[in-house]
Amino acid sequence: MPDRGEIWIADLNPPRGTEPGKTRPVLIVQAQALLDAEHPSTLVAPLTTRLLDDAEPLRIRIPAAGELRRESDVLIDQLRAIDNRRLVRGPVARMGPRVMASVGEALLDVLGLADQARFSEGWDVRRP
């Protein structure tokens, strides 16, 4: 089972409309508690090597690491739940707390939860 912050290779075929398809790296963004409970699906954000500058919060740039040989953008606006059987290989890399904090903040922005999170007691957007 994957852990939050790991990058796995996932089969995202068949795509629909603007969804990223093919077999590609994805960042595991689901809460660790659900992963530990062996939930049958996993929230992921696909990666692309087609880099766009100044695209935050829709994209977060991550460095090459492990078997992820090229710098990539995490497609925050393409967040999706996939069946765990779509995770075909991994982990191929692991992102550290700084990257995951940036991803978490971008997810809050894209989901419209940033203001709520800032004012909710005990919520820390920097927590990986």
pTM of this structure: 0.88
User: Mean pLDDT, to the nearest integer, of 56-82?
Assistant: 96
Contact (CB, 8 A) for 65 and 93: yes
What per-residue confidence (pLDDT) applies to 119?
55
Task: Examine residue 114 and state whether it is found in any structural domain, yes or no.
Answer: no
Instruction: Report how many domains make up the chain.
Output: 1
pLDDT digits (tens, 9 = 90+) for 13-56: 988 888 888 999 999 999 999 999 999 999 999 999 999 999 99
Task: Examine residue 108 and state whether it is found in any structural domain, yes or no.
Answer: no
Domain hosting 68: range is 6-95
Q: How many residues does the chain have?
A: 128
H helices of the chain, in order, are 32-36, 97-110, 114-119
Task: Examine residue 116 and state whether it is found in any structural domain, yes or no.
Answer: no
**Phi/psi of residue 79, each to 5°?**
-50, 135
Task: Examine residue 59 and state whether it is found in any structural domain, yes or no.
Answer: yes
Q: Which residues pair with 47 in a beta bridge?
A: 74
Q: Is the pLDDT of residue 125 over 90?
A: no
- Domain of 10, CATH number, reads 2.30.30.110
